[in-house]
Amino acid sequence: MSTNSEASGSTTQLKRGTIIMEDTGVKVFRVEDTFFTVHTHFLIVHSLVFRDMLLVAQANEGEGASEENPIVLDGIHACDFDLLLRIIYTPCTLTEASPLYTATAEECIGLMTLMDRWQMDDLLTMVRRAMQERKWDAVDKIVLAQGAEMDAAWTSAAYHELVMRTAPPTPADGKRMGWETYGLVRDVREVVANLPSMLRHFLACQRLQECLPAFISPPLPQDFANELHGANCDECGTVIVGPRYKCMHPQCPDYDHCSACEAVANSHPKDHPLLKIKEPVFRVRDVRLEGFPFTEL
């Protein structure tokens, strides 16, 4: 007795799915000292260069059929090809599973270089977008921008971040970025050191624009414009933000403390009276810098 499914199957014309993988699509590649056995479907889909390469290999009977007669890919690194295959065959919708979110900056440069060489334009656009969405240290961003074509504003923000952050770049950072870039960042940091945040921002942008023609100034954080600044603390040397404490003793005619130093015991003689001044010397948003024609923040 036949079922309904059997009856309908006898009259229905069967079709093939949109993705068809022939047995002949499996090829053996040799890159440096490493063999890769790969189904070439996605390589062909994403790269016209690979499609042409495999047509040539097909003409050479048996090439790529075994490790005894592999398709040799010269001029590339095995680690870069391995990462490319992992990107293609790993579901990138899951960030924790995708190598894009675990590979180092140097590995990503090798990956994007390979994609550019093989004209994998769609994949390259996707990878570059993922790189710019991923959370990197500023040094990693600069290394990426030096080795691959990245967005100018994204790269500029990395330089600005490295200049503005508290910790200076280390010699290990300099080795990765290059000593010229390391020296540039250190020089700009020295120029803007101990300035109020907004002044540091604009002066850093000015100096970076002078040294990096493609530099695009990042927007000014709104909280910078609202800072209240006083004088320099005579104890720790930093710019006083907000209220300051002025010594009223005759021996200290113009001695100021920041709140942090005032709170530290024995930072100043106890018999010297300190006057708390709530009104700062200036409000940062009222400052005008030569060369920056802004009127309101």
60 three-class SS: coil
Mean pLDDT, the chain, integer: 81
Q: What DSSP letter does each residue of 242-281 carry, written as one string?
A: S-EEEE-STT-TT-EE-HHHHTSTTSS-TTS-EEEE-S-S
Q: How far apart are CA 60 and CA 76, in angstroms?
A: 22
pLDDT higher than threshold 80 for residue 280: no
| 116 alpha carbon, distance to own chain's centre | 19
Q: How far apart are CA 115 and CA 113, in angstroms?
A: 5
Contact 285, 226 (CB under 8 A): yes
Q: How far apart are CA 14 and CA 36, in angstroms?
A: 35
CATH architecture of 23-135: 2-Layer Sandwich (3.30)
**Annotated domain spans of the chain:** 23-135, 151-220, 227-286
pLDDT tens, position by position, 194-239: 777 777 888 899 999 999 989 999 987 766 655 656 677 888 877 7
Q: Does residue 3 or residue 175 have the better pLDDT?
A: 175
Res 224: pLDDT: 64
Q: List the alpha helices (DSSP H) in 47-137.
A: 48-59, 78-89, 105-117, 121-133
Q: Does residue 255 or residue 117 have the better pLDDT?
A: 117
Residue whose C-alpha is closest to residue 259's, from 228, 233, 223? 233
Rg from Cα positions in the chain: 31
Q: Which H/E stretch holds residue 30?
A: strand 26-31
CATH 2.30.30 for domain 227-286: no
141-150, 152-161, 255-264 — which is least confidently predicted? 255-264
Residue whose C-alpha is closest to residue 27's, from 82, 74, 59, 67? 67
